[in-house]
Amino acid sequence: MSEPNSAVPVSDKLIAPDAEIEENGEDSGEGSWETDSAPSLPSVDSHRDHGDADSAIGTLSDVTSTSSLRSSIYQHVEENGRTYHHYKQGKYNLPNDELERERLDLQHMMFFIALEEKLYLAPIGQNIHHALDIATGTGIWAIEFANLFPQAQVLGTDLSAIQPMYVPPNCSFEIDDAEDEWNFAQKFDFIHGRTLLSCFRDPKHVLSESFKSLNPGGYLELQDVIYPFDWIGPPPVESALYRWNQLCAEGSRKIGRPWTNVKNYKRWMDELGFEDVVEKTYYLPTNQWAKGSYLKQVGAYFEQDLLNGVEAMSLKVIGCLGWTAEQIRGFLVEVKEDVQNPKLTCYATVKVVYGRKPFPVEEPEA
């Protein structure tokens, strides 16, 4: 029987890390790696051409959104043509409308492919009774995890009621603020959080509440993106994409929810008492500029994720710097052009960090 984490069905199968060398001599798995080895940076594909066979991955227009629950209790707030959460209005700076929900579901597939068709990396085993997905978004990760572990009760929490109405019987969702003190009725065997970089004023507090809410031996896993992005070679400081990174970093600091905390996750987990904390690294090219089929596929997803998401990420964060919505949208035209430019070798670094809550120390018998 296969391990649960490798059994998730996907429509587009990822080329395996040990794939054979293609006829043109290129390693089709370049950019992926064995579990225990260190990854290397993406290398530039000197033969890149959006018209070649390797670029046939497409624009991902077939990605569909989930059917969303619309609760009359939690009305959405509209600003600049986008809608935002009503519960604790203003805490989270990204919208929750249909465009954003579609992006979140596409982003879910991007992470699944980038992690080589895995929902999680922590060695949690199969004895999972209660699992929690914080800031669950559309709930797609929680739903797929619930399907993998039908014996477990899986809970997803978020500020927005945008999860599907029809879910597996062992999956449920609650409107909740992860920055509050956690008062769940049960302890969890596994807690998961993904792309939380823009969510919290004090991320370490959320990690601390996670530690308190785990059963001994339970795992916390975080999957997140280092910000700002990085470049192969000298950064093109005059480009709109480079400037966008700097503006979002500045705006997020001004708002009080800096996007730059992911680099601290492992250290914070060590400080909070997690054991066997592991940090793994993956890369997301901003388009298909990188060499190898694996990175081209990941890059195609990240390109579409950015094209669909830069407005959502920018309106409030850059808006707090004094920009109008019209100015931001005008600027983003240039940013999107840069995202699609294979000559701009930009990439994001993904960190997957997981650790285990220790078992109590047994006192020796007298």
Contact 117, 10 (CB under 8 A): yes
Greater confidence (292 vs 13) lies with 292
Q: How far, CA to CA in Å, does 39 sit from each of 42, 109, 305?
A: 9, 21, 23
Contact 134, 155 (CB under 8 A): no
Tell me which H or E stretch contains 349. strand 346-356
The CA distance from 81 to 21, in Å, is: 49
Between CA 361 and CA 365, with CA 364 as vertex, the angle to 5 degrees is 140
Nearest CA to 315 out of 294, 335, 295, 339 is that of 335
Residue 366: band (very low, low, confident or very high) from pLDDT cuts 50, 70, 90 = low
Bridging pattern class, strands 214-225 and 346-356: antiparallel
pLDDT of 114 > 80? The answer is: yes
Please give the CATH superfamily to which domain 79-357 belongs.
Vaccinia Virus protein VP39 (3.40.50.150)
Residue 130: band (very low, low, confident or very high) from pLDDT cuts 50, 70, 90 = very high
Greater confidence (152 vs 80) lies with 152
User: Would you state the pLDDT for residue 72?
Assistant: 42
Contacts of 190 (CB under 8 A, 6+ apart): 120, 122, 124, 128, 131, 132, 218, 219, 220, 221
**pLDDT tens figures, 318-334:** 999 999 999 999 999 99
The CA distance from 36 to 184, in Å, is: 35
Between CA 245 and CA 99, with CA 108 as vertex, the angle to 5 degrees is 70
**pLDDT tens figures, 260-310:** 999 999 999 999 999 999 999 999 999 999 999 999 999 999 999 999 889
Burial 279-309 (b: 16+ CB within 10 A, else e): ebebbbbbbbbbbbbbbbbbbbbbbbbbbbb
**Among 5-14, 46-55, 79-88, 172-181, which stretch is predicted with the lowest mean pLDDT?**
5-14
Residue 145: band (very low, low, confident or very high) from pLDDT cuts 50, 70, 90 = very high
Between CA 74 and CA 107, with CA 308 as vertex, the angle to 5 degrees is 75
Domain boundaries, the chain: 79-357
Tell me which H or E stretch contains 101. helix 98-114
Entry pTM: 0.78
9 phi, psi to nearest 5 deg? -75, 140
Helices (H), 161-319: 203-213, 240-255, 265-272, 293-319
Percent of the chain surpassing pLDDT 90: 56
Greater confidence (34 vs 305) lies with 305
End-to-end CA separation in angstroms for the chain: 46
C-alpha neighbours within 13 Å on the C-beta side of residue 337: 8
